[in-house]
Structure 1
């Protein structure tokens, strides 16, 4: 699943792929945002950890769960 996080006052968004299900990601985002003053911790497919301060989050976009196709469509 592709995740895009917009950061306040940043020209680019944080974008990465993860294998976590949408329900789990939604729960993590909601918990981080409602606790106030915390951080959102997410892990991508390669095992990298992303820690984003919740005060700086402008938006979180969760993409579709299907993987990208590689190659030509005939």
Structure 2
């Protein structure tokens, strides 16, 4: 599952490839925002991405496309 996180005052978004389901990620985001804490996600390689919930601009949860090559129309 590919998760894109937009961070306030940052030119680039964070992209995390995780094994968690979309519902699990959505629940983690909601809990982090409600508690005014941090969003912590683990990627498929075991690395952790931690973002302060107050700085999250948006979270895009998608299926991720692996192995895509070339132009698409």
Task: Indicate yes or no: 2:40 matched with 1:34.
Answer: no
TM-score normalised to structure 1 length: 0.85
- Computing the radius of gyration from Cα coordinates, the structure with the larger value is 1
CA displacement at 1:67 relative to structure 2? 5.3
Stretches of structure 2 lacking an aligned partner (at least 5 in a row): none
Q: Distance in 1 between matches of 2:69 and 2:32?
A: 38
> If the length of structure 2 is used for normalisation, what is the TM-score?
0.86
Q: Distance between the aligned counterparts of 1:18 and 1:46, measured in 2?
A: 9
From the superposition, tell whether residues 48 and 9 of structure 1 become closer, same or farther in structure 2 (CA, over 3 Å).
Answer: same
Aligned to 1:62: 61
Number of corresponding residues: 70
Q: Once the two structures are superposed, what CA deviation does each residue of 1:5-32 show, in whole Å capped at 9, x if it has no partner?
A: 0000000000021111111111111000
Distance 1:9 1:23, change over 3 A: same
Residue in 1 that maps onto 2:7: 7
User: What 5-or-longer segments of structure 1 have no aligned partner?
Assistant: none
Q: CA RMSD in A?
A: 1.6
